[in-house]
Structure 1
Amino acid sequence: MTLSTQLLRRGIEAAHDVHGLLSAKEGGHGQPGDDEPPQVPALAALVFFVTGMLIIALLFCIGYTFGHLLPTLCMIESPETAAYVPVDVLEPTDPPAYAATTPKPTQDDGEDDAEVLLVRNKPLTASIRQTILHLRARAGYWSPYRGLSMFLIWNVATGLLVGIIASIFHSRLGVAFAAIVAETALATLHMTWVHIVISEASPKRWYQRIASFKTWPKIAPAVALWATSNQIVHILPMLVCGSFGSLKHMNNPEYEPGRKDLYAVGAQGVMAMFLTVLLFVLLQIPASVTLVRVAASMLPEEDETIVPFDRTFGGKTTPAIIGGQGKIGLVEAWRSFPWASRIRLVKLMIKVALIVMAFWLTFTIVLVAEAHVIFGDKLGEMMKTVHGISRPH
């Protein structure tokens, strides 16, 4: 779960609350079956539906690459060490492709060495464009969507399991508990997705790379921590903001909101977004980094990572092939993630959130404009019909 996903979900919920207030203020729409639905040409409805589906597909692709894949690579990349490189082997560039220079070193016998530069390689994941180009150079044109099959299988299986467990409960907290249990139970699928994303292209199919169930006890605590933080970030802001003010009375059929209540809902929505961002930074990022790095520590020895990665985590763990435990602990997984990398990850997520929100705004404008052109004077009636169908009875 990424920051952009959380903000989009929070924005949709806030918009729905405002719309509910406006509907209540207008006195309701009556039952959906009271009036005949407006008649629109089938071709126009089909064009609008296809456009909506294309927008959803594009947002999913953008969210997958920028919101899931790139942050995962950033969480495991270990910046390469600085190196002294002879000047005559570097091609001139503008700006120069180096971070710092060093004076020409001299030997004790008085002879001068060739002029050299101290090159500090910039991490790949510091630039979104550079990361995409690197992936395509190493794993092909479609590499920004690598691991998509495993991602879909993992999420569909999780969704089915959540549905089964959640049928026992009838509350939001019950569904959250079901999600935590389901994610933890399918921890090996989550770990397999991480392995596919961070490793070089492999001839194996996705199902051939699913980790053995014997690895479940090693990865389950990290997934449980991640799933719990995910639910806290999603639920806690709405529980807090929905416990007072106008949102507290939204389900009361006798509640008659006024203009000031609309402003109150807007303010509570902003507060919910602020809490979401705060909890995301304080809980979700550390939990996500911990999960990814613990999973990366169990990457099979025959697989090479597609970005620079220190398997020993600075000497804090020993690979299983030489008698070590073969994984890093939860605390060390986070501590071994240096502050420079943490800042780089936060910057990346801010960029991703802005990109997703910009695309979301653009697609919304396109969809609204198309709705006006296609439905014309019947747009209001269509919105009433859709609202009546979607309202709970």
Structure 2
Amino acid sequence: MLDLRRRAFDVVAAAVTNAPAPGKEPEPVNVLAIVLFMLTLITAGAGFILFDYAFQVVKILTIVEDLPSDYDLAPAYEPDAEVESEGENGSPPTYRDDEHEDTEEVPTTPKVAPGLYLGGSPNKYITSSFRQTIRYLRHEAGFFSAWRGFNVNIVYSIAASCANGIFISMFPFPFGKYIAGVLVMVAVSPLSLVHTHVVLAPPTKETWFGRLSRLPFRSIVHTLPAALLVAVTGQLTYALPDIMVKAFVPQLAFDTPPPPSNDNPYQSMLTPLQCLAIYSVFLACHVFLFIPAMIILYRVQASVYAPTEEAIIPFERTGPQTVVRAWTSYTLEGKKRLLRLYVRVMPLVWLAAFTVGTVLFFELRWVMGDKGRALDVILHQWLRNQHGRAP
């Protein structure tokens, strides 16, 4: 695949930089096509980034949300109360906890899980669906709450990139990049911990750096085993397919020039069956290794969330959890909610990516004009490699 990508870029570069044939006028630049291509690229890129981050926020909340034993599953206000959205004289609706406001008696009614009234059903979780979670976040914390913690996520990415450059230089041998990747994720784990806490916290004027500065050192140390588990499973998810590629395609195939043009120039590349095997191993590692490790990490990080602080969703506050306890305490209902989230959202993401990729392909052909036929050559050769012939 690396060879195909390299040769594809070579063909495009050669087509774009080729001088016009003698006696032929150079083709004018299509400004409209270039502007449209750049607008599509920037809009689609920004859209995918924002959606991917919103999905990450919803995923964290879905994994962490529990209904503690001292919470009542009934709606936040009495459904049979004869009030619509306001009480008498425009006053807010009467909540069950309000009836104890003027008494010294400690209420015996269990605490009410916030936001459950949005579902309209007493047994519905806040994170029952992607759309409902976004509605709840906007209701509780404003329109931009779906991207809460985006600033600390940017800092996390920059810090991880810098640390990765340092650690890779320390391990220049083959597969040293995977050791570096493990060390990077452990090194920046405090930022990951702060990010999870920012996602769980209600709206506040405190910055992420202020939260990081008051984070107890013991909380960081407690989450390190879970961070290490995610780092190892994450690197293993990419290392196994990499080993398979090197086993299927000798390194010599990436270095030697292609055979004559009348032969298949990509005959040394992976066959469809080999591609399927590699993708199957990657998918299996991601589903059965990385996602469980990610669940453990988020639940361990949530367990060290300060008990004195409010949270935007209900979850058990039983104190710091171990790796084993974080996994065993994750209920079957929670796993079902997470599975529904992936099953409902990921097909839409794949469809959107395919649509945008197709639009960009034809826009790029338009930008390149006559030289755009080079893209047809690349597609023809790729199909020939995959199916033995091109349609």
Same fold (TM over 0.5): yes
Cα separation, partners in 2 of 1:171 and 1:139, compared to 1, 3 Å:
farther
Any residues of structure 2 matched to 1:194-213 within 5 Å, and which? 194-210=196-212, 211-213=215-217
Question: Which 5+ residue runs of structure 1 have no aligned equivalent?
Answer: 1-13, 93-118, 313-318, 320-326, 386-393
1:71 is aligned, of 50, 59, 64, to 59
Contact between 2:201 and 2:311, CA under 8 Å: does it hold in 1? yes
Cα separation, partners in 2 of 1:343 and 1:259, compared to 1, 3 Å:
farther
Deviates more, 1:219-228 or 1:167-176: 167-176
Question: Which 5+ residue runs of structure 2 have no aligned equivalent?
Answer: 21-25, 85-120, 379-391
Cα separation, partners in 2 of 1:185 and 1:40, compared to 1, 3 Å:
farther
1:375 is aligned, of 362, 368, 376, to 368
Corresponding residue for 2:353?
360
Any residues of structure 2 matched to 1:51-66 within 5 Å, and which? 51-66=40-55
1:240 aligns with 2:240: no
- What is the distance in 2 between the residues matched to 1:219 and 1:73? 18
Residue 367 of structure 1 aligns to which amino acid in structure 2? L
Q: CA deviation at 1:344?
A: 1.9
The alignment's TM-score, normalised by the length of structure 1, stands at 0.72
- What is the distance in 2 between the residues matched to 1:356 and 1:33? 32
Any residues of structure 2 matched to 1:100-111 within 5 Å, and which? none
Corresponding residue for 2:98?
none
1:250 is aligned, of 253, 276, 296, to 253
1:243 counterpart SS class? helix
Residue 40 of structure 2 aligns to which amino acid in structure 1? T
Corresponding residue for 1:345?
338
2:247 counterpart SS class? coil
Corresponding residue for 2:291?
285
Q: CA deviation at 1:265?
A: 3.0
- What is the distance in 1 between the residues matched to 2:374 and 2:265? 24
Residue 61 of structure 1 aligns to which amino acid in structure 2? L
The alignment's TM-score, normalised by the length of structure 2, stands at 0.73
1:154 counterpart SS class? helix
1:125 counterpart SS class? coil
Residue 243 of structure 2 aligns to which amino acid in structure 1? L
- What is the distance in 2 between the residues matched to 1:90 and 1:268? 65
Corresponding residue for 2:108?
none
Contact between 2:365 and 2:375, CA under 8 Å: does it hold in 1? no
Contact between 1:165 and 1:178, CA under 8 Å: does it hold in 2? yes
Corresponding residue for 2:226?
222
Residue 194 of structure 1 aligns to which amino acid in structure 2? T
- What is the distance in 2 between the residues matched to 1:193 and 1:30? 41
- What is the distance in 2 between the residues matched to 1:214 and 1:53? 43
Percent identity (aligned) = 25
Cα separation, partners in 2 of 1:186 and 1:240, compared to 1, 3 Å:
same
- What is the distance in 2 between the residues matched to 1:70 and 1:238? 31
Any residues of structure 2 matched to 1:184-199 within 5 Å, and which? 184-199=186-201
- What is the distance in 1 between the residues matched to 2:219 and 2:244? 38
Any residues of structure 2 matched to 1:1-393 within 5 Å, and which? 14=1, 18-19=4-5, 35-36=18-19, 41=29, 43=31, 44-66=33-55, 68-79=56-67, 82-83=73-74, 88-89=80-81, 120-171=122-173, 173-210=175-212, 211-244=215-248, 246=249, 250-253=253-256, 256=259, 258=264, 261=267, 264-312=270-318, 319=319, 327-380=320-373
